[in-house]
């Protein structure tokens, strides 16, 4: 992916350097020089998040009070957009975000996503605990390595999910996050009829999703962005 305007650099608490960059729709993202990888599409971070996760995921789900799981919580942009959509539609939403390397609030502020106080509430919420952020949006951030063999969702603690936002770094950069076993883990953690959306429409990812039992659709990508994205449904 090509880099847009570089604005500033911020190392996080464990020393990973990230640069704030402006994408084609004017919204910002983070670039990780060590991986040569962005957190969002350089063709439009906000446009991508809204299309793939909100429009094709949250809005598409018929579940009145959806349970959402995000793999790769990152900047919290998907969580914030989901909160806005949940409040607008008055759908009680539970949102579980898995993240290995939480970002400091100072980095989030530099992205200038919104001045809405809910964005700060999302980031100041404690890890592991469930926090009611707004009347229709409850958040549980979990700091964990989703690729670890020891990771699992205890069904007594985590009832099945209705929507999964799969937003890991690209398969070329982090192949372990796109492994068949991880998609099997997601499949068993989802309700019948639940959906998973991802920006990556590569044939290998589509076939892996199909091999674990999902029915996979190729959908149009975000305006000005990728040609296709994937949505997988659990039959
Ligand atoms: C493409 S970025 C996610 C973008 C994010 N959804 C957002 O809107 O900012 C991928 C995220 O996955 C996280 N990640 C990488 N390896 C992980 C792992 N093994 N387990 C959980 N999260 C991981 C990264 O730290 C990063 O935040």
Return the ligand 1 atom nearest residue 74 CA: 27
For the chain, give every domain's residue range. 45-233
- Judged against a pLDDT cut of 50, whether residue 156 lies above it is answered with yes
Return the ligand 1 atom nearest residue 77 CA: 8
If one residue of 99, 102, 152, 185 were mutated to test the ligand 1 pocket, choosing by the most ligand atoms within 8 A of its CB, it would be 99
Write out pLDDT tens, residues 157-214: 899 999 999 999 999 999 999 999 999 999 999 999 999 999 999 999 999 999 999 9
pTM exceeds 0.75 for this model: yes
Bridge partners, residue 197, by sequence? 165, 231
Tell me, what's the pLDDT at 155? 86
Q: Which of 130, 63, 57, 145 is nearest to 96 (CA)?
A: 130
Predicted confidence band of residue 9 (pLDDT cuts 50, 70, 90): low
Q: How far is the CA of 145 from the centre of ligand 1 (A)?
A: 10
Q: How far is the CA of 234 from the centre of ligand 1 (A)?
A: 23
User: Quick one: 45-233 is in which CATH superfamily?
Assistant: Vaccinia Virus protein VP39 (3.40.50.150)
**Two tokens, residue 175:** 């192949």
Q: Are 81 and 40 in contact (CB under 8 A)?
A: no
Mean pLDDT of 120-130: 98
Predicted confidence band of residue 138 (pLDDT cuts 50, 70, 90): very high
Q: Distance between CA 200 and CA 226 in Å, rounded? A: 9
Residue 74 Cβ inside 6 Å of ligand 1? The answer reads: yes
The residue whose CA has the least distance to atom 23 of ligand 1 is 100
- Judged against a pLDDT cut of 50, whether residue 7 lies above it is answered with no
Task: Report phi then psi at 72, rounded to 5.
Answer: 95, 70
If one residue of 145, 168, 171, 198 were mutated to test the ligand 1 pocket, choosing by the most ligand atoms within 8 A of its CB, it would be 168
- Judged against a pLDDT cut of 90, whether residue 107 lies above it is answered with yes
Tell me, what's the pLDDT at 6? 46
The residue whose CA has the least distance to atom 17 of ligand 1 is 100
Write out pLDDT tens, residues 16-53: 899 999 999 999 999 999 999 999 999 999 999 999 99
For the chain, list the strands marked E by DSSP: 5-11, 17-22, 28-32, 37-38, 67-71, 93-99, 130-134, 137-143, 161-166, 190-198, 215-220, 228-233
Tell me, what's the pLDDT at 16? 83
């Amino acid at each position: 992916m090509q880099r847009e305007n570089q604005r500033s650099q911020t190392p996080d608490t464990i020393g990973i350097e990230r640069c704030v960059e402006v994408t084609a729709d004017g919204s910002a993202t983070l670039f990780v020089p060590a991986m040569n990888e962005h957190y969002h599409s350089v063709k439009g971070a906000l446009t991508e998040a809204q299309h793939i996760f909100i429009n094709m995921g949250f809005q598409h789900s018929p579940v009145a009070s959806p349970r959402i799981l995000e793999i790769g919580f990152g900047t919290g942009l998907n969580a914030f957009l989901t909160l806005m959509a949940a409040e607008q539609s008055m759908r009680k939403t539970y949102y579980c975000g898995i993240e290995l390397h939480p970002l400091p609030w100072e980095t989030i502020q530099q992205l200038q996503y919104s001045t809405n106080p809910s964005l700060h509430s999302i980031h100041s919420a404690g890890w592991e605990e469930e926090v009611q952020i707004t009347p229709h949006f409850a958040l549980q951030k979990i700091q964990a390595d989703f690729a670890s063999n020891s990771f699992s969702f205890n069904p007594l603690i985590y009832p099945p999910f209705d929507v999964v936002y799969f937003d890991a770094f690209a398969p070329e950069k982090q192949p372990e996050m796109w492994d068949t076993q991880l998609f099997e883990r997601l499949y068993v953690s989802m309700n019948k009829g639940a959906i998973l959306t991802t920006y990556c429409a590569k044939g290998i990812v589509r076939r892996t999703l199909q091999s674990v039992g999902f029915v996979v659709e190729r959908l149009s990508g975000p305006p000005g962005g990728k040609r296709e994205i994937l949505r997988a449904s659990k039959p």
